Amino acid sequence: MKNYRDSDYAANKYADGIVYCSVTESITITLDDYLAENPNKTEADFAELKALSDEMYLDDEQADKRQTWKNVSIHNLEETDACCVPSAEVEVIDEQAAKERRRRKLARQVLDMLTETQRRRYIQHHADGLTTREIAEKECVSHVAIVYSLESAEKKIQEFTNK
């Protein structure tokens, strides 16, 4: 039985077989199990597979240790206020995100004031890149109807943005 304090690497390294560790259990594949399920394999194949599994567990353990070393506790720091001051990069990113939110809100307000038909045609033309003739063909209406609809939508948008 695996000691809960041992690492997966240690459990595999010191076992006679190959240990597969999951959250709920550990399964050990012995040489006899391996050869029984793979009759065309040899002990050398098993040893190679065992070495590979040892290497993989070691890599995982080393990656975990590297991550743990990056984790720094802020408990007992005297100047914790310094930890709370955002960097200049964070302020720029926050400002850009705020601008993007305002731009999206404005775009939503503009689109909400259009009729459903105008909105659909405006998006197809400006966002999807369809021509007025392609939209007319798709909606089975005249090309002129699409042009008038887009002109009307653009006029509403112009009036909204000039407020």
**CATH code of the domain containing 137:** 1.10.10
Residue 29, domain member (yes or no):
yes
Residue 79, domain member (yes or no):
no
The tens digit of pLDDT for each residue in 111-140 reads 888 999 999 999 899 889 999 999 999 999
Element housing 14 (H / E) = none
**How far is it, in rounded angstroms, from Cα 161 to Cα 107?**
10
Domain range enclosing 96: 84-112
Residue 76, domain member (yes or no):
no
Burial of 50 (0-12, 13-18, 19+ CB in 10 A): buried
Residue 7, pLDDT > 80, answer no
Domain count, the chain: 3
Residues 12 and 62 in one domain: yes
Residue 2, domain member (yes or no):
no
The mean per-residue pLDDT over the stretch 37-62 comes to 84
pLDDT at residue number 4: 42
Residue 48, pLDDT > 80, answer yes
The tens digit of pLDDT for each residue in 77-101 reads 665 555 566 667 777 788 888 888 8
- Would the pTM of this model clear 0.75, i.e. be above it? no
